[in-house]
Structure 1
Amino acid sequence: MSIQNTNTRTTVLILMVVAAIAMRIVNTQVPALSNFTPVGAVAIFGGAYFTDKWKAYLVPLLLLLISDVAVNYMYAGKFTFYSSSLYMYGCFMLMTFVGTFIKKVTVLNVAAASIVAVLIHWLVMDLPFVYGIANTWANYGTLLVKAIYPFETNMLIADAIYGAILFGGFELAKSKYTALQGKKQLAL
């Protein structure tokens, strides 16, 4: 793949991620859409498509940070970094890692990655010590149950919808524009 094709592919991937992350800011304006954000799908998408793995991690995390700043300014008028933020960013790095295992984009592979991503978020973000609560199994169980609806349910639905848009859109674009195809596809 030529340098120009690589740059075109990377630019398109970044623009798709930017557009998806922008929806996170829109979704914060509707309380019913709590956790209905594209960040899980974006992390999986980045892991699956960026050929340079450092970009797969950096682009989604950087855009997540930028959207955090925007969301915080909209609600609090300032940027606030919470102790739980490190765990959240860690979750999205793990979700990106899950995306790296997608070697062939199919509905089943993307759906499985989305379910794993939501499970990662659910199991990590509801650990009691993340929020300074006593670290007991009872507290963990309570937090897990409370998070199922609306938070994790919305995240699963959002990952499915945004994943379909991102993966489906890029696969469609790849079929029309050879500059977007990866090395393996061009060699066939």
Structure 2
Amino acid sequence: MSESKFNPRTAILLLIIVLISIIRVAAPFSDNFKEIANFSAVGAIALFGGAYFNNNIKAFGFPLLILLLSDVFIAKTSGYGFFYGGWYWTYIAFILMVFVGKVMLKKVNVQNFVFANVVMILIHWIVSDISAMYVPGLYEPTFAGYLTCLVAAIPYELNFVYGSLAYGVLMFGSFELLKAKYPYLSLNKTTVA
């Protein structure tokens, strides 16, 4: 009978995600929320979960659960509705963003991090903005309306770029520093994270 050793890797990864998520749920309480809308950690959380959780259930489940819980909290406290038209496109984009982290960040380094962010941001922009087509009267439900939506979304996507990079550097940098200091946090053949 083999003895299972506790590896705190999963707990530390989840703690980093939760701490960063607290910032996300606090944002709507800011006086300048409209200016910082989309300066969010959701992109960084998606990449982080995909990059560091070896187990697919944890890689997709933890970030999706955090997104869902924070969306519900934001909807309840800010008055912004949760089940808005086409909301599921945001979740589809998020799942694809986690997948980008799994595929492109098998080896975490600056080059892979930047490239994964570019791909993830394009996915967010192209997929999640489909949801705006479901809001009555916002955009014409045609390809031309979708293109108009994409152009109108550029300022929000720029905030998403800045947020993803800033939070990503914080999250990835923190965990990489912890791994350097505590090598048992690294994945090996017996580690399940």
With normalisation by structure 1, the TM-score equals: 0.89
**Corresponding residue of 1:148:** 154
Calculate percent identity across the aligned residue pairs. 41
3-state SS of 1:183 partner: coil
Deviation of 1:137 (Å): 2.4
Give runs of aligned pairs for residues 67-106 of structure 1, distance below 5 A. Answer: 67-76=70-79, 80-101=82-103, 102-106=105-109
Between stretches 174-183 and 134-143, larger displacement belongs to 134-143
Deviation of 1:90 (Å): 0.8
Residue ranges of structure 2 left out of the alignment (5+ in a row): none
- Partner Cα separation in structure 2 for residue 3 and residue 83 of structure 1: 47
Provide runs of 4+ in structure 1 moved above 3 Å.
128-135
Pick from 112, 120, 123: which aligns with 1:120? 123
Q: Does the aligned pair in 2 maintain the 1:45–1:167 contact within 8 Å?
A: yes
Q: CA RMSD in A?
A: 2.0
Distance 1:104 1:80, change over 3 A: closer
Which letter maps to 2:11?
T
**Corresponding residue of 2:26:** 26
Q: Does the aligned pair in 1 maintain the 2:86–2:133 contact within 8 Å?
A: no
Q: Does the aligned pair in 2 maintain the 1:48–1:103 contact within 8 Å?
A: yes
**Corresponding residue of 1:159:** 164
Deviation of 1:38 (Å): 0.2
- Partner Cα separation in structure 2 for residue 104 and residue 80 of structure 1: 35
Between stretches 56-65 and 29-38, larger displacement belongs to 29-38
Pick from 24, 37, 56: which aligns with 2:59? 56
Q: Does the aligned pair in 2 maintain the 1:38–1:162 contact within 8 Å?
A: yes
**Corresponding residue of 1:174:** 179
Q: Does the aligned pair in 2 maintain the 1:46–1:96 contact within 8 Å?
A: yes
**Corresponding residue of 1:4:** 6
Q: Does the aligned pair in 1 maintain the 2:140–2:146 contact within 8 Å?
A: no
Compare the two structures and name the one with the higher helix fraction. Answer: 1
Deviation per CA, 1:86-143, whole angstroms, max 9, x where unpaired? 1111111000000001121111111111111111111112236443554322211110
Q: Does the aligned pair in 2 maintain the 1:87–1:130 contact within 8 Å?
A: no
